[in-house]
């Protein structure tokens, strides 16, 4: 059976990305070591082409493959964000992989394969299509987490991620099978119709709903499905950790929100309380456990968990029955994850450039007196920490402001207050890094350290991250307008 040309055109960006990914895997073994950077630039060029194509079709809403795939403003927003994040990850990795002695161009192929899975996730209008996207994303990330094959903790992080990821995928797939049994289909629109016909108390759909929430809860690192996050983030190469903390979280939230609103929107009274409980638990554990961490990558891992809790406020608002502000919850979550991407990528980039010799550059002590040794790096880390804490006039403040205002408009003022309290708690561990950099004297050994693993491409990444944090903090309206336009109804 011939595939209609219109369907192939609809998913042309996905086809381009996956084709270049496969081409990179073929070219890597036959490319001289001094030419490997060309493959990285090929990847970046591919992302640029796809960015232009996706931006050009931003206002369209097109279904393809018998309504299994949808390309609308919502999917296009996530894809544009994922292109930017993937491109910044590749640019950061060009110098970082050489520093770590793992300069293999297949890495860029796996980034693009993972990106392809993420693009499928956010465009999926069918649970099985979304599941296939999740698996393509996850398998690539399992490999990337263990990319430092000569290092035990990298292999350990990959193994933990694989085992727990396979377990969560099994739960998600079991939930999908139960949905198919109840609805006779895995398409979101038909699931919504089955929910309406069978009522809110159907036990089969309720069990399936809980399994789907567990599966996505693992992907977004929400409590109590977060157990893998600290060990995997700490053990994986830093550029991979940045990619996981930002891209996979954004794509997972994008797919999660579409499934809950378009597939299970008729069951908001059933799932909203559960999401609210997960949201509060995630805020509590992520922020409190981050306080006691002395490893910056591990602290940022718990920070990532806490930020999943903030993003879940948007989902709670979107699912709050009778408020009439569902779109505001969706757009506020989209806005928050966009600004989160810039400040988190920036923070991990600083950790990456502190890598030198046998020193990983990720312990809190490695930041001691950084302002005297490397003023530029210290200032940028200060900027990213302040933004992560939500202090004005940074983009982090804007993200939290719109989330909390969406909660207030929905009549959930108490939830906004809880989020505000834990934002104040988070300032302790973020500003502790600033204190160590600016208020402690470096040791004699550290005073002699003048070199940073700062490649020209890493400089570009830091400049882009800092620009995003500052510009969206001072002038957020373009991003606010974009998220409002691309929001799910």
- Mean of the pLDDT values across residues 74-85? 95
Per-residue pLDDT averaged across 266-291, rounded? Answer: 92
Q: Are 285 and 223 in contact (CB under 8 A)?
A: yes
d(CA 218, CA 167): 10
The reported pLDDT for the residue numbered 34 is 81
Spell out the alpha helix ranges (H) of 259-363.
268-291, 296-318, 326-353
pLDDT at 366: 82
- Cα separation, 138 vs 174, in Å, equals 18
Q: Mean per-residue pLDDT for 338-352?
A: 93
Backbone angles phi, psi at 295, to 5 degrees: -95, 125
pLDDT at 444: 66
* Helix 106-123 × helix 73-99 angle, to 10°: 160
Q: Give me the chain's average pLDDT, please.
A: 89
Confidence of residue 100 (pLDDT cuts 50, 70, 90): confident
191-239 pLDDT per residue, tens? 999 988 887 778 899 999 999 999 999 999 998 988 889 999 988 988 9
Helix extents (H) in 184-248: 188-198, 203-219, 229-235, 238-243
User: pLDDT tens, 384-400?
Assistant: 999 999 999 999 999 99
- The per-residue pLDDT for 386 is 95
- With pLDDT > 70 as the criterion, what percentage of the chain qualifies? 95
For residue 196, count other CB atoms closer than 10 A to its CB: 12
pLDDT over 90 for what percent of the chain?
Answer: 62
**Rg of the chain over all Cα atoms, to the nearest angstrom:** 22
Q: What is the pLDDT of residues 159-176, one digit of tens each?
A: 999 999 998 999 999 999
Query: For 84-94, what is the mean pLDDT?
Result: 94
Q: How many Cβ atoms are within 10 Å of 28's Cβ, its own excluded?
A: 16
Q: What number of CA atoms fall less than 13 Å from residue 329's CA on the CB side?
A: 28
Phi, psi of 357 (to 5 degrees): 55, -130
pTM for this one? 0.94
pLDDT at 332: 92
Maximum distance among all alpha carbons in the chain?
Answer: 72
DSSP 325: -
Rounded Cα–Cα distance for residues 259 and 298 (Å): 31
Mean pLDDT of 319-326: 65
Model confidence over 226-268: pLDDT tens digits?
A: 888 999 998 898 899 999 999 999 999 999 999 999 988 888 8
Residue 209 DSSP SS3: helix
- Output the CA–CA distances (angstroms, integers) from residue 294 to 106, 154, 358, in the order listed: 33, 19, 18
Using an 8 Å Cβ cutoff, are 138 and 165 in contact? yes
Per-residue pLDDT at 475: 92
Candidate from 3-7, 23-27, 458-462 with smallest mean pLDDT: 3-7
Beta strand 62-64 with 69-71 is: antiparallel
Contact 310, 234 (CB under 8 A): no
Residue 49 above 80 pLDDT?
yes
pLDDT (tens digit per residue) in 410-464: 888 999 999 999 999 999 999 999 999 998 887 766 666 656 767 889 999 999 9
């Amino acid at each position: 059976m011939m595939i209609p040309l219109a369907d192939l055109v609809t998913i042309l960006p996905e086809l381009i990305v996956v084709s270049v990914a496969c081409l990179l895997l073929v070219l890597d073994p036959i490319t001289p070591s001094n030419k490997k950077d060309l493959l990285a630039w090929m990847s970046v060029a591919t992302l640029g082409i796809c960015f232009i194509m996706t931006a050009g079709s931003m206002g369209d809403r097109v279904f393809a493959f018998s309504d299994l795939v949808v390309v609308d403003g919502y999917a296009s927003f996530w894809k544009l964000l994922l292109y930017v994040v993937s491109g910044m990850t590749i640019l950061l990795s060009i110098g970082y992989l050489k520093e770590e002695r793992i300069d293999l161009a297949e890495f860029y192929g796996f980034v693009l394969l993972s990106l392809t899975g993420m693009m499928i996730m956010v465009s999926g209008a069918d649970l099985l299509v979304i599941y296939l996207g999740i698996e393509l994303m996850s398998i690539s990330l399992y490999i990337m987490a263990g990319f430092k094959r000569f290092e035990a903790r990298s292999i350990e992080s990959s193994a933990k991620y694989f085992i727990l990821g396979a377990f969560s995928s099994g739960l998600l797939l079991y939930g999908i099978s139960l949905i198919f049994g109840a609805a006779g289909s895995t398409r979101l629109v038909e699931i919504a119709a089955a929910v309406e016909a069978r009522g809110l108390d159907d036990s089969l759909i309720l069990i399936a709903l809980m399994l789907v929430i567990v599966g996505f809860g693992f992907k977004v690192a929400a409590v109590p499905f977060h157990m893998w996050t600290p060990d995997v983030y700490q053990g994986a190469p830093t550029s991979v950790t940045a990619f996981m903390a930002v891209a996979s979280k954004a794509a997972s939230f994008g797919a999660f929100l579409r499934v809950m609103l378009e597939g299970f929107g008729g069951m908001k009274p059933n799932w909203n309380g559960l999401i609210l409980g997960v949201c509060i638990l995630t805020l509590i554990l992520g922020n409190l456990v981050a306080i006691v961490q002395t490893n910056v990558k591990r602290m940022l891992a718990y920070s990532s968990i806490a930020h999943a809790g903030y993003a879940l406020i948007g989902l709670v608002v979107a699912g709050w029955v009778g408020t009439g502000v569902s779109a505001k919850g969706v757009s506020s979550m989209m806005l928050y994850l966009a600004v989160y991407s810039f400040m988190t990528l920036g923070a991990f980039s600083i950790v990456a450039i502190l890598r030198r010799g046998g020193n990983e550059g990720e312990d809190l002590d490695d930041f001691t007196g950084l302002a005297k040794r490397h003023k530029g790096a210290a200032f940028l880390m200060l900027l990213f920490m302040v933004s992560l804490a939500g202090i004005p006039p940074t983009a982090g403040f804007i993200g939290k402001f719109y989330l909390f205002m969406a909660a207030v408009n929905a009549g959930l003022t108490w939830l906004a207050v809880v989020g505000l309290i834990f934002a104040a708690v988070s300032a302790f561990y973020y500003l502790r890094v600033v204190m160590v950099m600016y208020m402690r004297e470096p040791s004699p050994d550290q005073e002699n350290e003048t070199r940073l693993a700062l490649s020209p491409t890493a400089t570009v990444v830091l400049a882009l991250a800092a620009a995003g944090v500052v510009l969206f903090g001072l002038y957020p309206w373009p991003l606010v307008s974009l998220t409002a336009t691309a929001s799910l109804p």
